[in-house]
Amino acid sequence: MNHTNKTIYLLLILPLFMLACGSDSVDLEPPTMQVLSFTPSPLEGNICGSSEPNVFHLTGGDQLAFDVIFQDDEALSQYKVDIHNNFDCHGHGGGSAPSLVITNVDNLTTDWTVLEIDNISGSTASVDRVFEVPENVTTGSYHFQIQVIDESGNDNPAANFFSLNIKHPLDDVRPEITVQIPGTNAITVQRGEQITFQGQVTDNRSLSDGGNGVLYLSYTDLSSGNTFATGEAIAFDDTIDTSYDFDFDYQVPTTLVTGSYRFSLGANDGVRNVAEFIFFEVEVTD
């Protein structure tokens, strides 16, 4: 066979070789989840200041159950159930109370946490599970995800993601903040100056009972939308009952950029019911 014929032969064979090598298709199709039932049924709810259509509303001691069918075009591998607190509003662009260790407090609440991974097989798997909310649960919003993976590692992490709104069985009343000083919600202050905050936090039960009680100050830069902690936080220990009188000064950092800010005074009670924030519109000048 001369050189020209060899070239023609190779050109004819090459596409056949490529087709043969590509005959084994790559599985890129993610598995799916068909929900047969949820107990309780999800309803509309407020999570981190925003309305969500599918929120599970639960109280400590309740059960969260689901009955689902996982399916894949080839073969399933595993599913995961993940429940964890969303107190810091992660994924929602919000903020939260600082994490403080409060000692010598009775009846410390329990943050609900579930992380389970189970093997499944075949192209279809029916799974029903029941999870019990801790009786002495910490009040707040939680994230709940059911994730399924096939044998090729395909999944859809954005799917089957829900929020939980959980209440403590003995206390669903939020504390209240009243402020005497500043006497106005519109403040102009120079960098390095102090702002005095005086007032009271009150609640229907002991602010310390449960271990999550705290009064704190944060601020939002209105030009960027970013929220920052100030470091001003007062933990409610077992010496505090149903009311707490506060009186503290906050020094505006000299490094703070001049402009418009929203300062937020917040409080949680012992089981972590969140008080309605008190806002101050602050103009920081040189």
pLDDT of residue 27: 83
Per the prediction, the chain carries an average pLDDT of: 88
Question: For residue range 89-111, what is the model confidence (pLDDT) as tens digits?
Answer: 864 444 556 666 565 677 899 99
Q: Could you check whether 32-167 and 176-285 share the same CATH topology?
A: yes
Residues 6+ away with beta carbon under 8 Å from 31? 70, 71, 72, 76, 148, 149, 150, 154, 155, 156
- 113-to-1, 19, 82, 85, 201 alpha-carbon distances in Å: 73, 50, 8, 7, 30
pLDDT of residue 254: 95
In the chain, the amino acid numbered 170 is L
Which residue ranges make up each domain of the chain? Answer: 32-167, 176-285
Q: Which fold has domain 176-285?
A: Immunoglobulin-like (2.60.40)
Question: For residue range 39-59, what is the model confidence (pLDDT) as tens digits?
Answer: 999 999 999 888 999 999 999
User: Percent of the chain at pLDDT above 90?
Assistant: 78
pLDDT of residue 9: 42
Q: Does the pLDDT value for residue 4 go beyond 90? A: no
Q: What angle do CA 223, 225, 230 make, to 5 degrees?
A: 100
Q: Does the pLDDT value for residue 145 go beyond 60? A: yes
Nearest residue to 227 via CA among 277, 185, 176: 277
pLDDT of residue 24: 64
Can you name the residues that pair with 149 across neighbouring β-strands?
A: 78
Distance CA 48, CA 141 (A): 8
Average pLDDT over residues 200-217: 95
Question: For residue range 105-131, what is the model confidence (pLDDT) as tens digits?
Answer: 778 999 999 999 999 999 999 999 999
User: Percent of the chain at pLDDT above 70?
Assistant: 86
Q: Does the pLDDT value for residue 77 go beyond 80? A: yes
32-167 CATH pick, 3.30.1330.90, 3.10.129.10, 3.50.50.60, 2.60.40.3880: 2.60.40.3880
Lowest mean pLDDT among 13-27, 49-63, 227-241: 13-27
Distance CA 268, CA 204 (A): 13
Is the omega angle on the peptide bond into residue 182 within 30 degrees of 0, that is, cis? yes
pLDDT of residue 104: 60
